[in-house]
Amino acid sequence: MRIETLILSKERNVTLTAYLQETGGEFGFEKRPAILVIPGGGYAVCADVEADPVALAYLKAGYQAFILRYTVSSKGGWPQPLEDYEEAMELIERHADEWGLDSSRIAAVGFSAGGHLCACAATLARHKPAAILIYPAILKDICDLCQPGMPQPNEHVTEDTRGRLRTMTRRLRK
């Protein structure tokens, strides 16, 4: 396994950590599915407990795993975390072949504020992932506690969103 930490913004302390397993070899994985882990922390911190342990569990399941430590409120407000997500996904997609990724099987999992960011990615971003939301902060009262005025992703779910997520879920199960 190879671990790479890519600095997306030194000023805002934004990083993308890649945990990359070998492809080919004994088990014959030419390309692996990928998961982007987005930890919570109320947009005040990126909680370590929702980062590496989660990535390691996905590695054990055969995924290539990535952790996005995004801009927190002391370094910049909304929509900077969503822009950090977009930059991370562009990087992941650009390096898919080099990193042994199946680019049609990339998902994101987010916890709490990271769940909010993950839900916003699934509904508002250019790179819309299959989203796994763990106790997400998506309702107005909770969002306003983190940063007033953030979007409420539940208001942006459409039938297209539902259909795309069903399709992605089937792909990830293959």
For β-strands 64-69 and 32-38, DSSP reports them as: parallel
Question: What's the pLDDT at 81?
Answer: 97
pLDDT tens string 87-144: 999 999 999 999 999 999 999 999 999 999 999 999 999 999 989 999 998 888 888 8
The answer on pLDDT for 27 being more than 80 is no
Number of domains in the chain: 1
Q: With cut-offs at 50, 70 and 90, classify the pLDDT of residue 171.
A: low
Give the percent of the chain with pLDDT over 70. 90
Report the candidate in 73, 70, 22, 71 with the shortest Cα–Cα distance to residue 44: 73
Report the candidate in 143, 172, 145, 170 with the shortest Cα–Cα distance to residue 156: 143
Domain extent for 93: 2-173
Q: Tell me, what amino acid is at 2?
A: R
**Residue 116 belongs to domain with CATH number:** 3.40.50.1820
Find out whether 107 and 35 touch, Cβ atoms under 8 Å. yes
Q: What is the DSSP letter of 29?
A: B
Please name the residues in contact with 5: beta carbons below 8 A apart, sequence gap of 6 or more. Answer: 15, 16, 17, 18
